[in-house]
């Protein structure tokens, strides 16, 4: 099919957009990067001029918005429409090389998507209760910084409150950074909703108290 990604009732602008080849990318995970944070999405259709992505929550506020692939390549986006859990974007800088996006070609190899965060996180190690800083999160692991030294393959319980408890082991460490691999991973939708919830700004009531989401 030859068309760009369009929303309900929307018409492509110009002959060039109408003839842009479109590729369906079923379940191609990527992330959206905005001033509000990093979020998971699924690429559904993409052409040289734009794309359609499935989200698990409303589009995060703020611009600019960029698409980041597993190989680290980024494309600046402009939202065009949002409906039924999908968002249509056009590429900010004009038509792209479609094969580079579809094949994820680039200088760096494709890797598991990691969502950058900067949040305190509770950890249980034996009978010790620790607080670390969660730096990134993926389907199968996390990067945590903490002052306490953990041994390789150390069993750790991570989470509590809005973060569902997961059991993990220390896979690697460098300085105070510890890479954890979960025993029970997240599904894509679970991770997407969790990250969106963790990055929401706190709600403050009229007397200045923080209200949980």
Q: What is the pLDDT of residues 109-139, one digit of tens each?
A: 566 789 999 999 999 999 999 999 999 999 9
pLDDT value at residue 207: 52
Using a 10 angstrom Cβ sphere, with 0-12 exposed, 13-18 middle and 19 or more buried, the burial of residue 140 is middle
Question: Of residues 158 and 25, which shows the higher confidence score?
Answer: 158
Average pLDDT over residues 185-211: 77
d(CA 45, CA 7): 12
pLDDT value at residue 102: 83
Q: What is the largest CA-CA distance in the chain?
A: 67
For 14-103, which CATH superfamily applies? Answer: predicted glycosyltransferase like domains (2.40.10.220)
Q: What is the CATH number of domain 115-204?
A: 2.40.10.220
Q: Which two tokens stand for residue 14?
A: 């110009």
Question: Of residues 57 and 9, which shows the higher confidence score?
Answer: 57
pTM higher than 0.75 for the full model? yes
One fold for both 14-103 and 115-204? yes
CA dihedral over 100, 106, 110, 111, signed as positive or negative: negative
Phi-psi region of 37 (alpha: psi -120 to 50; beta: other; left: phi over 0): left
| Model confidence band, residue 12 (pLDDT cutoffs 50, 70, 90) | very low
Q: How many helices and strands in the chain, by DSSP H and E?
A: 3, 14
Look at residue 156 and tell me whether its pLDDT is greater than 60. yes
Q: Which two tokens stand for residue 62?
A: 């703020």
**Proportion of the chain in helix, strand, coil states, percent, rounded to 5:** 10, 50, 40
Coil, helix or strand at residue 74: strand
Domain positions in the chain are 14-103, 115-204
Look at residue 199 and tell me whether its pLDDT is greater than 60. yes
d(CA 17, CA 26): 22
pLDDT value at residue 112: 77
């Amino acid at each position: 099919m030859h068309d760009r990604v369009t929303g309900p009732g929307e018409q492509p602008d110009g002959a060039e957009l109408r003839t842009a080849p479109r590729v369906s990318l079923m379940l191609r995970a990527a992330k959206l990067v905005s001033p509000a944070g990093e979020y998971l999405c699924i690429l559904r259709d993409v052409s040289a001029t734009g794309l359609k992505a499935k989200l698990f929550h409303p589009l995060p506020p703020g611009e600019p918005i960029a698409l980041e692939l597993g190989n680290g390549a980024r494309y600046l986006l402009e939202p065009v429409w949002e409906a039924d859990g999908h968002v249509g974007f056009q590429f900010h800088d004009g038509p792209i090389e479609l094969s580079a996006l579809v094949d994820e070609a680039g200088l760096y190899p494709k890797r598991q998507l990691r969502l950058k965060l900067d949040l305190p996180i509770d950890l249980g190690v034996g009978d010790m209760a620790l607080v670390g800083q969660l730096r990134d999160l993926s389907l199968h692991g996390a990067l945590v910084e903490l002052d306490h030294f953990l041994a390789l393959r150390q069993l750790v319980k991570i989470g509590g409150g809005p973060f569902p408890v997961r059991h993990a082991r220390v896979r690697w460490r460098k300085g105070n950074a510890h890479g954890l691999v979960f025993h029970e991973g997240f599904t894509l939708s679970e991770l997407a909703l969790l990250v969106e919830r963790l990055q929401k700004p706190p709600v403050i009531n009229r007397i200045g108290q923080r209200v949980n989401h």
